[in-house]
A and B are shown apart, each in its own frame.
Chain A
């Protein structure tokens, strides 16, 4: 699995952090997404797919 984020589109909602905290974080200054791991291990795949689907700015893309 390969994860990419479009940080210009990010609306800093933090849903990804709530859904997959091992893979996503937010910048302290403005809440923009920080990708902690662009190739997460298998046990995190479900959470990452969910994070991509529920992101309210549709800025996370997962390819497998």
Chain B
């Protein structure tokens, strides 16, 4: 068992490793290094309650100070790691610290992508951190008073959530992206079609099916977005949500294998005594028979537990059933397992065509691919959805 553990990244996955180690009675030295100055906070509310102005930052702390103190860990915040030496286990930081530990955990998450032309213009936003969320919120609130035209570039989960929240604040919002419907690749035509209707019913303008090439500007301020067919959609405020890349820039030259994430074995080990967890980690999922990198909140905590086990000597493979959720216009969508875009979709519970007294549709859809249930998707039906998860578990045996 290692005498000391250093966790790089002080958010859901990093904190989760520290907590899981202590829960499993690890009594060695624990250090958590984080780039941001804030105490560990949660990201999902950033595009929902925090952006809408319903919650202040204090509400998204991951843990109370009392719980953090109980971890008996040293927190070094506001000082990003800049390099790792794999053989000596030395991490150097931007402020000049040199840290070392028997076991090192990489949990540095993602960095949002920018579109050409957008880097230096005012009025162009991304959303990953608390500071991003507060900046975007202030811009949206200011935009309300000037009747700003908001364009969201991105038809994935984050783009759709930002669209929904900005619209709920009363803004005039256009959503753009290359897919025919929001989240078409993830959810398939039936559910993404319902999502498209949901956005439209709530007053969003959908300009989907043609990707955005670049952001246009004049005098240092954004003026619009240019679609790949040449058309320009005018905008006063643009939110770029076109995905994010694993934050591995500090690991260049470390000797670790970096390939769309830190590449790990089946128990999340990247090298001797070095592990990765959360959005940044790509590991070999044994029962699915493929490498996987998940960008969802539950995985950050679950993989953190697996990494703690590996640090403590286990070689058990990490074989989760993936789970994600998203909230848009008051609808909660939850997905367990994986949804193939060409899956056969059947309704397991509820009825998508019925609107109940609360004005809501409710159903659970079962996704079958190559003869087995690979995923279930719930629309406003959390408890029933989780009960259907068993059908995937039963089917998720090695092929």
Question: Residues of A at under 8 Å CB distance from B?
Answer: 9, 11-15, 17-18, 26-28, 30-31, 46, 49-50, 53-58, 61, 63
Nearest 9 A-B pairs (CB), nearest first? A31-B382, A12-B382, A14-B386, A54-B301, A56-B297, A26-B383, A53-B19, A56-B298, A31-B383
Choose among B16, B42, B298, B385 the residue that contacts A15 (Cβ–Cβ < 8 A). Answer: B298
A10 to B382, CA, bound (A): 12
CA distance A13 to B382 in the complex (A): 7
B64 contact from A12, A17, A30, A61, Cβ within 8 A: A61
Residues of chain B with a CB closer than 8 A to A17's CB:
386
Check: B62 CB closer than 8 A to any chain A CB: yes
Number of interface residues of B (CB under 8 A): 29
B250 within 8 A of A: no
A58 to B16, CA, bound (A): 11
Q: Are B42 and A57 in contact (CB under 8 A)?
A: yes
Q: Is the CB of A27 within 8 A of B383?
A: yes
Q: Given that A11-B325, A13-B323 are known contacts, is A54 also in contact with B298, CB under 8 Å in the complex? A: yes
Contact with A along B171-214 (1 / 0, CB 8 A): 00000000000000000000000000000000000000000000
A61 touches which of B67, B332, B383, B386 (Cβ 8 Å): B67
Q: What is the CB-to-nearest-CB distance from A4 to chain B, in angstroms, rounded to a whole number? A: 11
**Given the known A-B contacts A13-B298, A13-B325, A15-B298, are A53 and B382 also in contact in the complex, defined by CB atoms under 8 Å?**
no
Contacts of B323 in A (CB 8 A): 13, 15
Q: Least Cβ distance of B58 to chain A in Å?
A: 12
Whether A58 and B63, one on each chain, are in contact in the complex, defined by CB atoms closer than 8 angstroms, is yes
Query: Do A50 and B332 form a contact, CB below 8 Å, given A30-B380, A58-B62, A58-B63?
Result: no
Given A12-B383, A13-B298, A56-B325, 19 more pairs with CB closer than 8 A: A11-B325, A11-B327, A11-B332, A12-B325, A13-B323, A14-B382, A15-B323, A28-B383, A30-B382, A31-B332, A31-B385, A46-B23, A53-B19, A53-B23, A54-B16, A54-B301, A57-B42, A58-B61, A58-B63
Q: Does B143 contact A (CB under 8 A)?
A: no
Cα distance A15–B395 in the bound complex, in angstroms:
20
Residues in A whose Cβ lies below 8 Å from that of B16: 53-54
Question: Which residues 238-258 in B have Cβ within 8 Å of A in the complex?
Answer: none
**Interface-central residue, B19, B67, B381, B383, by most chain A CB under 10 Å:** B383
Q: How far is the CB of B76 from chain A (nearest CB, A)?
A: 22
Given contact pairs A61-B64, A61-B67, A14 touches B301 in the complex (Cβ within 8 A): no
* CA of A17 to CA of B325, assembled, Å: 16
Chain B residues with Cβ below 8 Å from A14 are: 382-383, 385-386
* Residues of the A chain whose Cβ atoms lie less than 8 Å from the Cβ of B382: 12-14, 26, 30-31
Report the bound CA distance from A63 to B305 in whole Å: 21
Q: Which of A17, A31, A50, A55 has the most CB of B within 10 A?
A: A31
Contacts of B67 in A (CB 8 A): 61
14 A-B pairs with CB atoms under 8 Å apart are A12-B334, A13-B298, A13-B323, A15-B298, A15-B301, A26-B382, A31-B332, A53-B16, A53-B19, A54-B16, A54-B298, A54-B302, A56-B297, A56-B301
